[in-house]
Copies of this chain bind each other. A is one copy, B any other.
Amino acid sequence: MNDMGTRSGDGTVGKALDVLDQVAGHGRPMRFAEVLAASPLPKATLYRLLQTLVNQGMLRLDAETGAYSPGLRLVRLAHMAWARSSLAPIARPFLDELSKDVCETIHLAQLDRGQVLYVDKRNARQPIEMFSGAGKVGPGYCTGVGKAMLAHLPDDERAAALPLQAFHAHTGHTITSAEALEAELAEIRAAGIAFDREEHEPGIICIAAPILSPGGRVMGALSITTSTDRRSLEDLATLKPRMIATAARIAEAASAWQFPDRTET
């Protein structure tokens, strides 16, 4: 519903993946007509595309209801992607430790096209909520992790990421312009830490630290979230050293995990 100029249709494959996103992103199984209504593609084209995707196991077509839903092949790919391309497996022990330490919700996130992609999570209460946390996306401009990562992006990438932000005013505290965000990012860069001051949800605040490679590249970010009636921002700020330390240890572990190829300059 926000910015339309999404992925430029990379030929047939692009279209197919768009359809996949469409169907997978929808909250429940979609009938053909529904998909058709939501897609710019003509009937016949869409039809064959869906057929192909089902054939490939990326979508599942329920014979009973004739509705499409994400296929199990995605779960398989999912595993591979998460296990190898995300910080989550590496960061897990550190998150566990931090979680035991401070009893608050913890997020581990990475940046994907200017958006925040949560790749792991620890809940205050529950031992662990598995996939339920991993894979979710959120806005970059009004979350702690988002701002922490954007702040430390190289100039050109940051310039590319800012126009992708929706700048929707979720609350009265939300930053709603690229200029204001740039200013905030500069502060965050200087401070080494980011805060979410009820910018996304009223009553919800967080402190976030970027995870930077030895070369200074942004690898991800982690955050501790709480609510204003449990803790104050000042209170959260006292966690800064622990967050920085944890972020550093994750970065170190991630670098060590690098394959014996060329490491960074």
Residues in A lying within 8 Å of B, measured CB to CB? 7-8, 10-14, 16-17, 20-21, 24-25, 27-29, 49, 52-53, 55-58, 60, 64-65, 67, 69-86, 88-89, 92, 110, 112-113, 117, 119-120, 127-128, 130-132, 134-137, 259, 261-262, 264
What residues of B have a CB within 8 angstroms of the CB of A120 in the complex? Answer: 130
On whether A12 and B10 interact (CB within 8 A), knowing A77-B21, A78-B74, A261-B65, the answer reads no
A-B contact pairs, 23 of them (CB 8 A): A10-B56, A24-B77, A24-B80, A24-B81, A29-B259, A60-B85, A64-B262, A65-B262, A70-B80, A72-B86, A72-B112, A75-B81, A75-B86, A75-B117, A76-B135, A77-B78, A78-B79, A78-B134, A79-B134, A79-B135, A79-B136, A80-B135, A127-B128
What residues of B have a CB within 8 angstroms of the CB of A21 in the complex? Answer: 77
What residues of B have a CB within 8 angstroms of the CB of A131 in the complex? Answer: 78-79, 82-83, 88-89, 130-131, 134
A179 to B261, CA, bound (A): 48
Across the interface, A117 reaches (CB within 8 A) one of B72, B88, B112, B113, namely B72
A83 to B11, CA, bound (A): 29
Q: Determine if A85 and B75 form an interchain contact, defined as CB atoms under 8 angstroms apart.
A: yes
Q: Determine if A70 and B75 form an interchain contact, defined as CB atoms under 8 angstroms apart.
A: no
Taking the nearest CB of chain B, how far is it from the CB of A98, in angstroms?
15
What residues of B have a CB within 8 angstroms of the CB of A86 in the complex? Answer: 72, 75
A139 to B256, CA, bound (A): 33
Instruction: Report the 9 A-B pairs with minimum CB-CB distance, sorted nearest first.
Output: A79-B135, A78-B78, A74-B81, A70-B81, A24-B80, A72-B112, A10-B52, A13-B16, A82-B131
Identical chains bound together, number = 2
Chain B residue with the shortest CB-CB distance to A20:
B77
What residues of B have a CB within 8 angstroms of the CB of A110 in the complex? Answer: 72
A84 to B28, CA, bound (A): 8
What residues of B have a CB within 8 angstroms of the CB of A113 in the complex? Answer: 57
